[in-house]
Structure 1
């Protein structure tokens, strides 16, 4: 069975694949999103969204649904054998402020994140093809031909591009012959499960420890379930059962009044620390766990994959719409160093927890992913003679920006969507912006912040961007600063869009 050609075939409908599909769907580009599983997976697995990922979900239009389905992580209550306890905040979060609207991680099970993204994808006209497995692919200069298997029948699909979002055991990665370099840490093993529990309150993330290891129960918001986590000793069986989990809980907590009523999902987990040495083979790309896996310490995995997709999505869309295909080389250039840094961070956090022999609270900024930047990318053009603290390649902060009647618009209101955004600080930019709109109005929105903002000390955008003189910023569709210039001329932005991104002027 043959299907009509599509621009992008996405293999894997977890958070990474769903973000990429939403990015393409809101640009009305044809794609197929397939997943080998017969139906949506209903397991918590990852359970934390970092502040930067919440900003992505804001841009995709689902942040209200996400916030309604999650909670700020509750305090960790570490129970001692004598019946006393110590309460600690797991994350030393930030209070929301003008430049960082989401100050703390959000506790939310992965299955709910996926359900929200599937709902958003349906609103945008897309769908997930469950029960459709990737078998093999062939490439040529113009596209990819993939063989899929559905209900025992093979079908082929022709796509201009293929993106593997099919997890740590990626069938696509194996087909491409890309090595998954790293190691499996047999000394770091756990049982993880979604369980219903009686005899314990849901106000805390509960944990106990004895000489056999740690056991913890984390309440999953808007459910009656907890995520159960327990380290394994070397002599333990690796096949989880409710009876075994109950025995571990009783042995390590010293309590028999806490009962695991049932389990909707149970899994044996080993720490894998691996990543690929390339993110692209011809017209096929790797994203999320297909490109990198690491320990769950710090809650980085699901977030890093979603941000891979957010980085790749606008670039694929731009090339499909006529931009230079060389733009796609920047995906690996920007995201591979991030994956390497995340592997190092998660390893460090895991070792910190192992040495302390219990769950260790996180330091705020080290896990929030707000400091991820692409300053070394060729897409980062810093053209000022005196750069500020915020530079090209950095995340674009939020801030109050413009008055719209009685309402103050946020910068994120202006950035939300699929376009580039030109922000002009100071006066005298009208002619420059008019020329840019004439040439690139099909991909560019322009806004004048004005001179008054340069001297406003109450959280205005100029403070967030450390701007003190007439300045023009170009913000990429994924919320990173592409260019900063102090020249009152359209030339730098025109050159950037035409030569670094590859957009052809519409004028």
Structure 2
């Protein structure tokens, strides 16, 4: 049966335990994590369906910064050109005091040339609503789609699959879907996470996760009287008004307005409220805000799910970790959750790898999420700057059971098993050109004999490159080194363990 017809059948079906599944993977939530996972599964030919509670994709700029590592991921998913066209580089900060320009400041620590072996050095700004649109368009081009108006009310799982119930009133969306696996990408208030009984532990002694009790208003608005070459910063003036930042949203005519308020303040999130805030904290008049496209208010939180898996249900994105927006880590960590999980689901569903491979998702991603939560919180509190860590090129899985390093006496900068495999020049192109796609790559570096080919694994060779040195590297579909050795001894045994055919 064709993928599209399977998805059409799944939209209106009611299934019972013991019957055939409607889809192999049900992804709940059409935010960045859910859409990225949908794209990854679709390009692999996995029978998956993305469902969304809302009637459309969520509006608003929200997470607007795409970090270099995520740019690499989006390149592999086939949306890099669209992301580049939709956004732009971050502007320098311009500080205003009493209606006058009082100086500039860099919003990020500069990257070194060729840092971490990547073509991407700095974050790229794209409003989240546009990133979601691009991923949805890519999903559609691959034959997948999003079913809207699907509110999860309950789920029940057994050893063979998961039955997910939806609220009535969703038209064709009412009823139950039976899936082999479910991925909860339905946000910080995840209905799926609550349904499987996974708690979240927050920062602070009370476990609330509140990073800062002061509420923040954020909105997208058209504003006259400010240039689009700067991120406009309005520090507190000592008259009770808090900070305000007004950032031009690349690729649009809008600005993102972010304003902090004292704890206990009841925010006015209406268009008039936004106009009043801008007028009170800047030299602009209220009518300089000519349109308010979207507005929200929140208290910065940091919380981590106690587990990322319950049986056949996995948590990804904000359902698994909630960040302060400071440092631009939430969207990026979420997309990389999806990138880690997609190839593993494919390998297990296809029968190439044992089901235990799925245990490595939580093993690898939960420590990363915990680290990124800590970093976001420190940046929010002014204890750290946006720099090398926030670019996420150094994120890796050296402690993972999938990382097998057989070499000894390596230098500090040497690429090891578990590390992200850096880019390098190869004949006529870049090493990342060889990595791109839903496959493993067998990389030989330096003057070592070419190892025997592995079925379905792409081969690549580079000359002398300091980071790789000399050796053999089996690079995972998500661009991390799984196995590394001075030669091929032990390679075939590892390949068999992760489900790669050895001929």
TM-score, normalised to structure 1, is 0.89
1:494 aligned onto 2:483:
no
Q: Show the 5 A alignment for 1:103-182.
A: 103-149=121-167, 151-152=169-170, 154-182=174-202
Distance of 1:58 and 1:105 partners within structure 2: 14
Aligned to 2:478: 478
> Structure 2: which 5+ residue stretches go unaligned?
1-12, 16-20, 203-207
Of 197, 209, 219, the residue aligned with 1:193 is 219
Of 245, 265, 279, the residue aligned with 1:250 is 279
2:133 aligned counterpart, secondary structure = helix
Tell whether the 8 Å contact from 1:314 to 1:418 is kept in structure 2 after alignment.
yes
Of 26, 32, 42, the residue aligned with 2:59 is 42
1:187 aligned counterpart, secondary structure = coil
The count of aligned residue pairs is: 471
1:54 aligned onto 2:71:
yes
Which range moves more in the overlay, 119-128 or 183-192? 183-192
Of 81, 85, 90, the residue aligned with 1:64 is 81
Select the structure that is richer in strand. Answer: 1
Which range moves more in the overlay, 109-118 or 227-236? 227-236
Task: Give, in angstroms, the shift of residue 399 of structure 1.
Answer: 1.1
1:463 aligned onto 2:466:
yes
TM-score, normalised to structure 2, is 0.90
Task: Give, in angstroms, the shift of residue 308 of structure 1.
Answer: 0.5
Distance of 1:334 and 1:86 partners within structure 2: 43
Change (3 A) 1:6 1:82: closer
Change (3 A) 1:289 1:235: closer
Which range moves more in the overlay, 66-75 or 143-152? 143-152
1:274 aligned onto 2:326:
no
Distance of 1:235 and 1:162 partners within structure 2: 38
1:425 aligned onto 2:445:
yes
Which range moves more in the overlay, 194-203 or 144-153? 144-153
Task: Give, in angstroms, the shift of residue 425 of structure 1.
Answer: 2.0
1:303 aligned onto 2:332:
yes
Tell whether the 8 Å contact from 2:54 to 2:148 is kept in structure 1 after alignment.
yes
Distance of 1:74 and 1:43 partners within structure 2: 20
Tell whether the 8 Å contact from 1:382 to 1:392 is kept in structure 2 after alignment.
yes
Of 369, 384, 392, the residue aligned with 2:392 is 369
Aligned to 1:17: 34
Change (3 A) 1:376 1:234: closer
Structure 1 runs, 4 residues or longer, greater than 4 Å off: none
Distance of 2:100 and 2:26 partners within structure 1: 55
> Structure 1: which 5+ residue stretches go unaligned?
354-359, 455-461
Tell whether the 8 Å contact from 2:211 to 2:377 is kept in structure 1 after alignment.
no
Aligned to 1:382: 405
Change (3 A) 1:94 1:258: farther
